[in-house]
Chain A
Amino acid sequence: MAFASIHVPNFPVQAVVRAEPGLRSQAVALVDGTPPILNVVAANEAATQVGIELGMAKSQAAQFHAVEIRNRSRVQEKSAHAALLDLGASISPRMEDTAPDTIILDISGLTSLFGSDENIAGQLKQRASILGLFVHVAVSSNLKVALHAARGFSGISLIPPGEEAKCLGKLSVRALLPSVEILETLERWGIRDCAALAALPVLQLSERLGQKGVRLHELARGAFVRSMVLAQPGVRFEEEMALDFAIAELEPLSFLLGRLLDQLCARLEARALAACAIRTHFDLEDSFEKDFQVLSENFPPKLAPKTYEKVLSLPVPTRNSKMLLKLLRLQLQADPPHAAILKIILSAEPARPRATQGGLFLPGSPDTEKLELTLGRLAKLVGHANVGSPELIDTHRPGDFRMVRFAPENGESKIPQKNRAATVHAPEETPLTAFRVFRPEIQAKVELQQNYPTRIYFQGMRGNIVAASGPWRTSGDWWREDTWQQDEWDVGIRFDSVRGHSERISSPRAQNGIYRIYYDSIRAAWFARGRYD
């Protein structure tokens, strides 16, 4: 029995370089952490040669101008790992998914297909390079020996049976992956390679390091035997595409999206699953004049983030790639990314496909998929912000609301719990009369006497203000450009005339009542906000 171990050295860097082949010949350092604390977590040899050290802060690394700095990408690492598994599967069905950067293949009996062990190793190396990976390959009749040799030696290593200990002699003990505690002990002892470790008396070693020490000793001698753990296929459905040139047009983008969706749907079908949501992630071209950014909640139009993310939630799971593409196109047309696209990541949220049947005596309802398409078209026409059901916003700004996706729930208030206390005592919470809001507000002309409104003209009507209570003053959002400052009045109006062209209003008296009007200090104008019923 023979095992081939395939190891991708410096895996995080290779994963990034695989997605950006232009970096292959350059010094590359990867940073990771929680901003603003970002440290170098990996670097290729060219980068370490110019002075990059692991653990260095990003700002320090940035001072080495010859070094390209990228963020560590778990997604690209997963893609690279998937590619590694593909590489293994292309040679042998018996495969162990040992680590993100390492797999082991059982290559027994493959001689008739691929030739000698050496040939197999060579093929693995060659196929890996087509997938954008540079790998170390080691072949041994001992699985662990193959694994350690691939981790410790570059290129192809063929270890003949019986020479395991000799071959592993110069291998660093780190390649045996001892626990941190044992590694510290070995370092203190000055034991750095397998030969030194193998030379220690095993009885005394067991007195000191216990069974773990004995196992390490066996590993160092190439005498440890274990069986293979066969890999299970993954359940993540994600496709990613980095573009050489940024795409700004929908048509070429649709072509690529269609291709990715086809792949996703095919993978889902193979697993008898469907997508209940498609997550779109675009990396966008830098479209900023300045590198100053703020969170999008404050200044969405001017200072948008450098990525675009959307989730297309589906009412029923589907794997109809054509329909998914239509929905994605509608979504993009209604809310297009503000800059050209550099990278596309599409991921599908898997779910069981719909397996229900419409009831014979149930009232007819539109086909769910068609309804979703219609809603999508509506959103494209009027904008996402104008489709759905209204929801009050936690603000003092009078009458402010936003539209959210329609989802009938138990009717609980969506005001954040923490802010409710502030309003619990307000009499406004339990209004005695209903208030009908004019949307949009109606501009009015108001005459004042001693700062009190006395006469009003709006919507073609004019009348005397017979009672007024106010002003009720609100102002806020002073840190934004759309700050507001309003003085509201509750006024009783007795209308005396209606302009002739107003067809809706027949009698002025019918319009008499209590209204809420306000003066907008920013716009320097009066408006009617609504009427108390």
Chain B
Amino acid sequence: MYTELHARSAFSFLEGASLPEELAAVCAEYGMTSMALLDRDGVYGAPRFYLAADKINIRAHIGAEVTSAAGWRYPLLVESREGYQNLCRLITKMKLRAPKGKGDVSGAEVAEYSRGLVCLTGGEEGPLAHALAQGGIESGKECVQQLCELFGKQNVYVELQRHFLREEEARNHAAIEIAEKLGLPLLATNGVRHAVPQRREVLDVFTCIRHHCTLATAGRLLARNSELHLKTPAEMAKLFSDLPEALANTEILSSRLQFTLKDLGYRFPKYPVPDGKPEIHFLRQRAHDGMVWRYGLNNERAQAQIGRELDLIEKLDLAGYFLIVWDIVRFCREQNILVQGRGSAANSAVCYALGITAVDPVRMDLLFERFLSEERGEWPDIDLDLPSGDQRERAIQYVYERYGKLGAAMTANVITYRGRSAAREIGKALSFNPETLSRLTSLVSAWEYKDANDTLARQFRDAGFDMQHPQIRKFFELCLQFQDLPRHLGQHSGGLVVCQDQLDSIVPLEPATMPGRVVVQWDKDDCADMKIVKVDLLGLGMMAVLEDCLQIIQKDYGEEVDLGKLPANDPVVYDTLQKADTIGMFQVESHAQMACLPRLRPECFYDIVVQVAIIRPGPIVGKMVNPFLKRRQGREAVDYLHPSLKPILERTLGVPLFQEQLLRMAMVAAGFSGGEAEELRRALGFKRSEKRMKEIEKKLRSGMDRKEISSEAQEKIILAITSFALYGFPESHAASFALIAYASAFLKCRYLAAFTAAILNNQPMGFYQPDTLVRDAQRHGLKVKPIDVTCSDWLCRLEKNGQDFCVRLGMRFVKGLRGDVALQIVSERAIRPFSSINDLKFRVPMIQKAELATLAEIGALNFIGTPKVHRRDALWQIERAARRPGPLLEKAEENEVGMENGATELGATPIFSTLASPLAAMTGEERLVADFRGAGMTVGLHPMGHHRTEMKRRNVRSAIELLNLPNGMRVRIAGGVITRQRPGTAKGFVFISLEDETGISNAIVTPQLFEKNHVVIVHQQFLLIEGQLQNQDGVISVKAETIEPLRITKAETTSHDFH
């Protein structure tokens, strides 16, 4: 028998060509019972290799090739847990001191961490080959002796590889001689870099990518033959028929390697309970306190649920985890950082009681098993939403401080080759000329949006490429082989892992690109698979808006608004939602949401939960949106896929909309346990689970067969379930988001000024440009004042306007103005007002001419001094103010400024004339252009407003007029484009939103019309669209028939495009 003990996977990043799962599968196919994976400078692929191997009863040995200072690599195999920990620490040490992707280890470091590791002498890149090339057999012998000193003689194997190469065989002769002299065992390996011979092509392309060359120019950098694949025991026996002991030793060594990843030794940190009592005791106390706070003392249902959850938490020994998350939440609360749990944690009443989540799972009857299940045997997953930016960073740094730099790290995000990236790299390697390459890659970019029948081969033909052409065919084959192969390691947006002991003994750590951050070598799925607890600290722009909004309300309105105690059913909020008047509101502001809101007509909080969940690719592709809306409007009878599903689907009128529902459907219809149902969810959402999904589908069908569900109903149930694979929200997650959506809607309706200021201060975020947000606020009666250096801050703020508040735009919107300059303006202004532009320039010397010019151009300098000047006056003045007078006249200028400020220095005479400008004031159009150029918006009339008379003459309807026009009428609309969308789920239709001075009108463009008018639609900022009005259930849009550009202003307005 034979065990392959030296194999690389694609996680050696461009130095291996097969995924760990493929290696394990081929290993099993060849009848081998164990195998070792040694990736370059890491254990990146180890969890996937271990899990794949474990399922097919193969023992997965772990190791790594660690780069030495001289450039060759130590092939190291892990014998024991100590060895694994040493390997992780050795790699961490090497990685953390070097730039990303680089690093090497010294002999002394290897000696320090050598216990528990077995060292091979390696193949072409190993220490022995290097020594032989440097100094012949004597040098080789010396090298092996050194390895024996480092690792102990019993832990060194002299490795032999045979790939039918002359020089390799010469090396083998030398190696055998050295092994004999030193009494070391021989070990046959194949130095595997890909699972099957065909993958050599991928390896060659990887080589080209690594060396920045093409296949035609790579020459001898490419593999000499295709022999670096996994070989069967029989093939290896034939290759090493003269050295049977080298083969036998593979089995002996394999039996020595006792460590597997099952034995990882991960422990979640203990929470330091104040009085030394057990953690569960402390947790029960906290949960009880929280229960009283949330439910009062007499809610038996909540009491029972919390009790049940706590019992399970105790049984699974998870109290520490809950306390640590509670601790993070507590820190955030103390620091006034808004925090809210999302995702499946919202299914837990304990999380609700602890204040981690804000959704009441008892009242909403949410499925606890979705969060935590005894059968799954995995850690629960709690995601926390935090305000994006500094606040979130503070929370992350708190975790680092609390658990130490080596006790906490971000999870990795493995960037894999996808359609476009793969196509680009392969095309370059195949020397495609840039034009062809660009055509091919643009073709590939569309792959993700096509249905299954739209094959790649057909797309190639449609694009004019001949699949019979050998290079195109090769390109196509390589593209398919490249899919999902790892490319490099990134950092996950918010996943943090923490560990009781040093995390670097569990998994190697690497520096992230962002300073001060470290990242583990595994992604979040791998961490979950290895049962490492992860806490996601995610940044959410709207959380920052809410936080800022509450602060503004407290400061300006003098009111305390508690998001946890908002009025539950504010009619104004629901009225606004029903009218789809939702610009700026979380999750319900998109065009698709606005088109759905008047049909769904939310009347209670649960309706918002449904609204948030329904406009997702899952329900849309699963064809669930229309049936639900029709049933909701009473136009279609409510029925159920199967009578047994009624209790589950009753709330959503027989249409499954949430992930929990599909889990419950599986439980009821197919008899799945809670854990099995959760496994189903993971299979659906997992990108590498095609096979797993099929297995579960089979299981589902047999379960439904047992329950005698008709095959027709089975198909519907399977479709409903599988469509969520494309993305659907869990109910708890939708509920958490709905809370934020409700809060944003409430604040916008009740505190429009504060909300507008807050959302403007957190741009860019959301669906609309600041200009659209401002205009929307203006239409709702809010006065928005322009930027003015005499009163604007860096951020937008509120000003009293009679009894009401108005928003004063902040200087953050001045293009090119630096923050510290604005802050200096504000601080100088606080000392005393600026008397002139000269005075401003003098007291804020760091301000540059370009900054002054932009401020002048947008009218922000008009109110400095008296009398008020116009923008061109200011522009005239800044040109002089910005020029340094030179040493001779510097003093004179100081005097001049001093005089302006009231100083009466004797003899101080103004040198420069301060005559009014000879320039004419800007016209309305010029002001508009200047506003958009300098601030990206205007608080004046919308450009369309200046042309309304002409528009009327051309029979163009304003957005507000459309409300009262009948369905089917032929109309013309016009306006500035604020969004263009071409969603993947809309079969090529394009949605355009046009804004005029009265509001927003929407147009739908067919794919044919889009193709015909592509340039105009994509590039023109103002459009005139003619077509048929569709006015159904309060949803108004125009089905475009003709589209033409409208040239009414030179102002450079912007739009938010998704195409």
Interface positions, chain B 162-204, Cβ under 8 Å from A, are: 163-167, 170, 200-201, 204
Which of B583-591, B747-755, B915-923 binds A?
B915-923
User: Is residue B434 contacting chain A, with contact meaning CB distance below 8 A?
Assistant: yes
Interface positions, chain B 939-998, Cβ under 8 Å from A, are: none
Which of A3-11, A126-134, A422-430 binds B?
A422-430
Contact flag A422-B163 (CB < 8 Å), given A204-B913, A210-B883? no
Interface string of B402-438 (1 = CB under 8 A from A): 0000000000000000000000000000111111111
B-side contacts of A424, CB under 8 Å: 133
A-side contacts of B164, CB under 8 Å: 470-473, 487
Interface pair A419/B220, CB less than 8 Å apart: yes
For chain B, the bracket of interface size reads: 35 or more
- Bound complex: CA of A426 vs CA of B168, how far in Å? 9
User: Is residue A185 contacting chain B, with contact meaning CB distance below 8 A?
Assistant: yes
Contact flag A472-B166 (CB < 8 Å), given A35-B438, A292-B472, A294-B436? yes
- Bound complex: CA of A473 vs CA of B228, how far in Å? 12
Q: Which residue of A lies closest to B438 (CB)?
A: A36
Interface pair B219/A393, CB less than 8 Å apart: yes
A-side contacts of B857, CB under 8 Å: 188
- Bound complex: CA of A427 vs CA of B472, how far in Å? 38
* Candidate in A292, A299, A393, A475 with the most chain B CB atoms within 10 angstroms: A292
Interface pair A208/B879, CB less than 8 Å apart: yes
- Bound complex: CA of A191 vs CA of B876, how far in Å? 12
Interface string of B901-918 (1 = CB under 8 A from A): 000000000001101001
- Bound complex: CA of A51 vs CA of B1017, how far in Å? 13
A-side contacts of B227, CB under 8 Å: 473
User: Is residue B358 contacting chain A, with contact meaning CB distance below 8 A?
Assistant: no
User: Is residue A199 contacting chain B, with contact meaning CB distance below 8 A?
Assistant: yes
Contact flag A416-B919 (CB < 8 Å), given A290-B466, A425-B133? no
A-B pairs with beta carbons under 8 A, tally: 152
User: Is residue B727 contacting chain A, with contact meaning CB distance below 8 A?
Assistant: no
- Bound complex: CA of A295 vs CA of B1016, how far in Å? 35
- Bound complex: CA of A191 vs CA of B471, how far in Å? 59
User: Is residue A479 contacting chain B, with contact meaning CB distance below 8 A?
Assistant: yes
Interface pair B919/A190, CB less than 8 Å apart: yes
Please pick, from A63, A208, A415, A423, the residue contacting B876 in the complex, using a CB distance under 8 A.
A208
Interface pair A295/B883, CB less than 8 Å apart: no
* Candidate in A188, A292, A423, A471 with the most chain B CB atoms within 10 angstroms: A188
B-side contacts of A63, CB under 8 Å: 1014-1015
User: Is residue A209 contacting chain B, with contact meaning CB distance below 8 A?
Assistant: yes
User: Is residue B225 contacting chain A, with contact meaning CB distance below 8 A?
Assistant: yes
From residue A472, how far is it (CB to closest CB) to chain B in Å?
5
B-side contacts of A190, CB under 8 Å: 872, 919-920, 922, 926
Q: Which residue of A lies closest to B913 (CB)?
A: A204
A-side contacts of B220, CB under 8 Å: 394-396, 419, 422-423
Interface pair A60/B1015, CB less than 8 Å apart: yes
Interface pair B919/A293, CB less than 8 Å apart: no
Interface positions, chain B 471-508, Cβ under 8 Å from A, are: 471-472, 474
User: Is residue B215 contacting chain A, with contact meaning CB distance below 8 A?
Assistant: yes
Interface pair A298/B219, CB less than 8 Å apart: no
- Bound complex: CA of A11 vs CA of B437, how far in Å? 32
User: Is residue B682 contacting chain A, with contact meaning CB distance below 8 A?
Assistant: no
- Bound complex: CA of A471 vs CA of B920, how far in Å? 90
Q: Which residue of A lies closest to B166 (CB)?
A: A472
User: Is residue A503 contacting chain B, with contact meaning CB distance below 8 A?
Assistant: no
Contact flag A292-B922 (CB < 8 Å), given A419-B221, A422-B221, A476-B222? no
Q: Which residue of B lies closest to A185 (CB)?
A: B879
Q: Which residue of A lies closest to B430 (CB)?
A: A479
- Secondary structure class of chain B's binding surface, majority of residues: helix
Interface pair A295/B167, CB less than 8 Å apart: no
User: Is residue A459 contacting chain B, with contact meaning CB distance below 8 A?
Assistant: no
B-side contacts of A199, CB under 8 Å: 918
User: Is residue B723 contacting chain A, with contact meaning CB distance below 8 A?
Assistant: no
* Candidate in B216, B464, B1045 with the most chain A CB atoms within 10 angstroms: B216
- Bound complex: CA of A475 vs CA of B133, how far in Å? 24
User: Is residue B129 contacting chain A, with contact meaning CB distance below 8 A?
Assistant: yes
Contact flag A35-B435 (CB < 8 Å), given A416-B219, A478-B201? yes
Interface string of A465-508 (1 = CB under 8 A from B): 00000111111101101000101000000000000000000000
Interface positions, chain B 212-242, Cβ under 8 Å from A, are: 215-217, 219-227
- Bound complex: CA of A93 vs CA of B36, how far in Å? 85
Interface pair B216/A297, CB less than 8 Å apart: yes
User: Is residue B337 contacting chain A, with contact meaning CB distance below 8 A?
Assistant: no
Interface string of A136-169 (1 = CB under 8 A from B): 0000000000000000000000000000000000
User: Is residue A245 contacting chain B, with contact meaning CB distance below 8 A?
Assistant: no
Interface pair B215/A479, CB less than 8 Å apart: yes
From residue A467, how far is it (CB to closest CB) to chain B in Å?
15
User: Is residue B274 contacting chain A, with contact meaning CB distance below 8 A?
Assistant: no
Interface pair B201/A293, CB less than 8 Å apart: no
Interface pair A293/B133, CB less than 8 Å apart: no
- Bound complex: CA of A393 vs CA of B222, how far in Å? 14
B-side contacts of A418, CB under 8 Å: 211, 221
A-side contacts of B432, CB under 8 Å: 294-295
From residue B892, how far is it (CB to closest CB) to chain A in Å?
13
- Bound complex: CA of A474 vs CA of B167, how far in Å? 13
- Bound complex: CA of A474 vs CA of B220, how far in Å? 11
User: Is residue B832 contacting chain A, with contact meaning CB distance below 8 A?
Assistant: no
Contact flag A476-B224 (CB < 8 Å), given A292-B472, A294-B433, A297-B216? yes
Interface positions, chain A 291-333, Cβ under 8 Å from B, are: 291-295, 297-299
Interface pair B431/A298, CB less than 8 Å apart: yes
Contact flag A204-B918 (CB < 8 Å), given A36-B437, A292-B472? yes
Q: Which residue of B lies closest to A394 (CB)?
A: B219
Interface pair B225/A473, CB less than 8 Å apart: yes
User: Is residue B469 contacting chain A, with contact meaning CB distance below 8 A?
Assistant: yes
Interface pair A427/B913, CB less than 8 Å apart: no
From residue B808, how far is it (CB to closest CB) to chain A in Å?
24
Q: Which residue of B lies closest to A471 (CB)?
A: B164
Interface pair B435/A474, CB less than 8 Å apart: no
From residue A136, how far is it (CB to closest CB) to chain B in Å?
27
B-side contacts of A35, CB under 8 Å: 433-435, 438
- Bound complex: CA of A64 vs CA of B1019, how far in Å? 14
Interface pair A293/B435, CB less than 8 Å apart: yes
User: Is residue B880 contacting chain A, with contact meaning CB distance below 8 A?
Assistant: yes
6 A-B pairs in the complex with CB atoms less than 8 angstroms apart: A189-B876, A208-B879, A292-B436, A292-B465, A416-B219, A479-B215
Closest 6 interchain pairs by CB? A394-B219, A425-B133, A36-B438, A473-B164, A208-B879, A35-B434
Question: Given A292-B464, A393-B219, A475-B226, list of 17 further CB < 8 A pairs?
Answer: A35-B433, A36-B437, A51-B1045, A64-B1015, A188-B872, A199-B918, A204-B876, A208-B883, A292-B469, A394-B220, A425-B132, A473-B164, A473-B224, A473-B225, A473-B227, A476-B223, A481-B470
Residues of A in contact with B (beta carbons under 8 Å apart): 34-36, 51, 56, 60, 63-64, 185, 188-191, 199-201, 203-204, 207-210, 290-295, 297-299, 393-396, 415-416, 418-419, 422-428, 470-476, 478-479, 481, 485, 487
